[in-house]
Amino acid sequence: METVNIHEAKTHLSRLIEKAVAGEPFIIAKAGKPMVKVTAVQQEKEPVRQFGFMKGQITYPKDFKAFASKEVDEMFYGNPTKFSSKKRKK
C-alpha cells in the first residue's frame, strides 16, 4: 500500500483518487506518521424494478373513475367559492 505525505497528496489528489477507485488504497502521512487511509466507496446496486409485481394484490371499486366526480368537476369548472378559503369580491 502506497504512503504519501500531505503535500504530495494535495499536489496529486486527482491521480491518487483514480488509483483508489481502481482498487489501490493509499495512506496519507504527516511527518512520516500515518494519518488516514483512503479507499474507494463501495457503490450500492440500485434495486431492479419489476413492472406488474403487485398484479392481483391491489383492488379498487368499479366506479373508481366516478368517485367524487361531481366535486372534482365543481373544483375545475364551476362553483369556485365552495372550495376557496377567500371570498370573492363582487
Provide the residue ranges of all domains of the chain, joining segments of one domain with +.
2-38
Q: What angle do CA 25, 31, 35 make, to 5 degrees?
A: 40
Burial 69-79 (b: 16+ CB within 10 A, else e): eeeeeeeeeee
Which pLDDT belongs to residue 9? 94
Q: Please state the φ and ψ torsions of residue 3, each to the nearest 5 degrees.
A: -120, 130
Reply yes or no on whether the pLDDT at 24 is more than 70. yes
Reply yes or no on whether the pLDDT at 55 is more than 60. yes
- Note the CATH architecture for domain 2-38: 3-Layer(aba) Sandwich (3.40)
Reply yes or no on whether the pLDDT at 75 is more than 90. no
Which pLDDT belongs to residue 86? 60
DSSP state at residue 73: H
Q: What is the mean pLDDT of residues 56-67?
A: 80
